Amino acid sequence: MTPCPVRELTEALIRRRSVFPEDAGCQSVIAARLAPLGFECEPMRFGEVDNLWAVRRGAKPGPLLVFAGHTDVVPAGPRQWWHADPFEPTERDGHLYGRGAADMKSSLAAIVVAIEEFVAAHPNHPGSIGVLLTSDEEGPAIDGTVRVVEALQARGTQIDYCIIGEPTSVDALGDMLKNGRRGSLHGKLIVKGVQGHVAYPHLARNPIHDLAPALVALVAEQWDSGNAYFPATTWQVSNLNAGTGAGNVIPGEATVNFNFRFSTASTIEGLQSRVKAILDAHGLDYSLEWTVSGHPFLTERGALTDAIAQAIRAETGVETELSTTGGTSDGRFIAAIAREVIEFGPHNGSIHKTNEHVALASLVPMKNIYRGTLERLLK
């Protein structure tokens, strides 16, 4: 069997138990591959999180193209739910199984090998190639990419193109790219009442009863209509709690946790003010706390989307679709210093599940797509 460098590196990374916030040496493995190519490798540790910033400066001026990703993975869960040890890569029915196989150690391996091949073929390429890695993507994302971006921003670093190796493919490799993500805004609403006996409601005030009409209004509200790239903003209750647990006590307060997934058609300030207006209109006695976990970002069609779409078409014959669906990603941080940000990677059907896997037949094509994008942008 002919050795496959992408598979070999993917397997080496899967064997490292890099459950958030542990990197478990993955970034050192990658840095050891990049340094001989002329990359300046700079480990950046913040708190308990390992990050890596590596850059290779070309022979001539040109754009800075950065590949970004994360080496941490989510917990594997009970061993008995897996076909085999989740941290021992296993081949089964044409797929490579292991935690992180799809999210996102195979794409990291494909990126590294693509860079190696590109530099060997074009040692005097124009522009620069960067690699940004974190072990804080699957966790709270406090000491990871956001901190690296802040450090680069302080240096005046500007990224022209960024490709994040997130698993984006649905049915065929390359059938979907993420050219943006919705923002995420959390709210914690506490509606205050007066606790009392259920037999004497006139001596109490039930916050659930007060809340109910306002909740109906919030559910019915049309926050926006979206735009050409984003679906309409959504509002969802994630938790609702009230009561002492006793069946004869009117609760003294009710707590509602909710979330907005919002597009560039809305603003944080606008959504906050509209929620407050609805609550005030219903005469509630309340407190409200807000947490922003991500701003929306969008890359419109341009040089990066065209280059990667052409590379996908040349390798697979697939016409890719641009999408902004799904959760948040570290693209929300990188967009602060990057002109264009795209996510592309393997099939996402098994991510975060037991028996996570990646199709072995997709590894080399994925590498070729990353390399093809380099060929088109650094020329």
What global pTM score does this model have?
0.87
Q: How far, in Å, CA of 11 to CA of 5, rounded?
A: 10
pLDDT one-digit tens code per residue, 156-167: 999 999 999 999
For residue 250, give the 3-state DSSP assignment: strand
Averaged confidence pLDDT in the chain: 95
pLDDT at 293 (0 to 100): 85
Share of the chain above pLDDT 90, in %: 92
Q: How far, in Å, CA of 326 to CA of 75, rounded?
A: 20
Residue identified by tokens 């970004």 is 68
User: Is 22 designated active site?
Assistant: no
Q: What is the DSSP letter of 105?
A: I
**Nearby residues of 372 by Cβ (< 8 Å), 6 or more positions away:** 307, 310, 311, 314, 315
pLDDT at 54 (0 to 100): 98
Closest CA to 349 of 174, 165, 169, 94: 169
Pairing of strands 95-97, 286-294: unpaired
Q: Tokens standing for 331?
A: 């693209």
pLDDT one-digit tens code per residue, 117-155: 999 999 999 999 999 999 999 988 899 999 999 999 999
- Whether 1 has a pLDDT exceeding 80, the answer reads no
The predicted model gives 113-119 an average pLDDT of: 98
User: Is 143 designated active site?
Assistant: no
From the CB of residue 280, how many other CB atoms can be counted at a distance below 10 Å?
11
Buried b or exposed e, range 131-149, using 16+ CB within 10 angstroms: bbbbbbbbbebebbbbbbb
Q: 191 pairs with which residues across the strands? A: 254, 286
Among 72, 143, 166, 315, the active-site one is: 72
Q: How far, in Å, CA of 349 to CA of 68, rounded?
A: 21
Report residue 3's pLDDT band, with 50, 70 and 90 as the boundaries: confident
- Whether 250 has a pLDDT exceeding 70, the answer reads yes
pLDDT one-digit tens code per residue, 39-75: 999 999 999 999 999 999 988 899 999 999 999 999 9
Which range in 111-115, 244-248, 259-263 is most confidently predicted, on average pLDDT? 111-115
Among 23, 50, 136, 137, the active-site one is: 137
Closest CA to 160 of 59, 58, 51, 304: 304
